[in-house]
């Protein structure tokens, strides 16, 4: 059975993400891309029909997307990173931000950490929250359904930023911070190197829930197709357990509190 190597797991703890190549077949990515093209209402052969910098397609539970999310390699990686069996299989892949080459600014390229549980108003994502136990989220996942080069608006990732975010969240207890409250504190964190989530269609980036990341404008010629769903935990993370019982998500949080 294919699994993440010890080096990849160590990289996840220290850097906050691991890139999994060939996480699902390119043929499945092509099927998904075909469905998404139809959903956009754009013609892949007519760039003049690509009139918006971003088109967001909402949840799709069709079979190709389920296949992409549920390969043996990904299931093994979920066990390795979030704790054996401590995750819920994905039937959908969340929303799909499809980015097109455009002179028009997308307006959604700010640095942030994805929130994971609702605040006072579940319909207002800016009020959704993040806490030190990462309630409601085991991983952030970036599924690439098209080949993504440096020019194709790859997601920007601040390497190791999850360690800094843990320190920010720790004093806030169970209630944590809202999406916008946490976003407003990110400029005060230590400077970090940037990585770009590039790769062939079928690549998946498995990221720590606290990783700081951002979209960017598309400078290339081919639209970028991706999904960015959470992996949902089956039970809440417990940072009070012994070192031997901790999963890498928990180990990374504690590393952030100690560094």
Q: Evaluate if residue 1 carries a pLDDT over 80.
A: no
Residue 169 has a pLDDT of 98
In the chain the beta strands, taken as DSSP E runs, fall at: 17-20, 54-57, 96-99, 129-130, 139-144, 156-158, 177-178, 194-196, 204-207, 213-214, 226-227, 230-231
Instruction: Render pLDDT for 225-257 as a digit per residue (tens, 0 to 9).
Output: 999 999 999 999 999 999 999 999 999 999 999
Instruction: Render pLDDT for 105-162 as a digit per residue (tens, 0 to 9).
Output: 988 999 999 999 999 999 999 999 999 999 999 999 999 999 999 999 999 999 999 9
Q: What percent of the chain has pLDDT over 90?
A: 95
β-pair partners for 206: 18, 141
**Which domains are delineated in the chain?**
6-258 (2.60.120.620)
Instruction: Render pLDDT for 36-51 as a digit per residue (tens, 0 to 9).
Output: 999 999 999 999 999 9
| 55 Cβ contact list (under 8 Å, min separation 6) | 40, 42, 97, 98, 100
Q: What percent of the chain has pLDDT over 70?
A: 100
């Amino acid at each position: 059975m294919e699994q993440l190597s010890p080096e990849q797991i160590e990289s996840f703890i220290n850097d906050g993400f691991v890139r999994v190549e060939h996480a699902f077949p390119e043929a499945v990515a092509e099927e998904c891309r075909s469905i998404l093209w139809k959903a956009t209402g754009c013609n892949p052969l007519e760039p003049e029909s690509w009139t918006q910098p971003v088109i967001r397609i909402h949840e799709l539970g069709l079979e190709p997307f389920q296949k992409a999310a549920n390969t043996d390699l990904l299931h093994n990686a979920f066990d390795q990173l979030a704790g054996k069996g401590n995750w819920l299989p994905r039937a959908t892949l969340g929303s799909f931000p499809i980015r097109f080459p455009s002179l028009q600014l997308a307006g959604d390229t700010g640095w942030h950490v994805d929130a994971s549980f609702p605040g006072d108003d579940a319909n207002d994502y800016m009020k959704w929250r993040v806490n030190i136990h990462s309630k409601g989220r085991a991983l952030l996942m970036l599924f690439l359904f098209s080949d993504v080069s440096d020019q194709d608006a790859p997601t920007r990732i601040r390497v190791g930023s999850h360690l800094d975010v843990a320190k920010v969240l720790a004093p806030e207890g169970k209630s944590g911070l809202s999406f916008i409250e946490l976003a407003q504190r990110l400029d005060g964190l230590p400077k970090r190197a940037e990585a770009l989530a590039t790769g062939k269609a079928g690549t998946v980036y498995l990221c720590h829930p606290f990783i700081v990341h951002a979209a960017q404008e598309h400078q290339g010629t081919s639209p970028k197709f991706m999904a960015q769903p959470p992996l949902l935990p089956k039970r809440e993370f417990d940072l009070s357990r012994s070192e031997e019982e901790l999963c890498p998500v928990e180990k990374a949080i504690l590393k952030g509190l100690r560094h």
